[in-house]
Amino acid sequence: MENILLKEKQANILVALMDASQSWYISSLAKAANTTYVHACNFLVECEKLGLTSSEKHGKIKTIKLTEKGKDVAERLVDIYKAIRPEEQESQKPAKEDEPKVKQPAQ
C-alpha cells in the first residue's frame, strides 16, 4: 500500500540522510536506497532545488546533507510509514526512552 502513496526509493534516500553520523555521497545514497547512481543524482538535484538538501564539493566528491526543511520532510515520511505499518512499531521499541530508533522504509 505504501508504494501507492510514496515513491519508495526517493523516500529511502531522504530517510537515509537523517543519519548525520556519516558523510553521505550520491553513490552511498543510491546503495542505501537500492537504486542507480543516475536515479539518485537526478532525485537529489530536484531535492536541492526544493531546498530539502544541500551539497558541498570536496574535490571530485560531493557530500549531501538535509536542510532543516528536508529534516522535517524526512521525519514526516517516517511518521507516514509508521502509520501505514503499525505492526512494526512493536519490534522497534527503543532501548532507552530518550533514544528512539527509526526504521527505514522497506526496500
pLDDT value at position 8? 87
CATH number of residue 68's parent domain: 1.10.10.10
Domain that holds residue 84: 2-92
pLDDT value at position 86? 72
Whether 9 contacts 47, CB under 8 Å: no
Whether 22 contacts 105, CB under 8 Å: no
pLDDT value at position 94? 52
Please count the CA atoms within 13 angstroms of the CA of 54 that sit on its side-chain side.
6
Structural domain contains residue 8: yes
Instruction: For the chain, give the percent of residues with pLDDT over 90.
Output: 63
pLDDT value at position 105? 53
pLDDT value at position 4? 47
Structural domain contains residue 103: no
**Total number of domains constituting the chain:** 1
Structural domain contains residue 77: yes
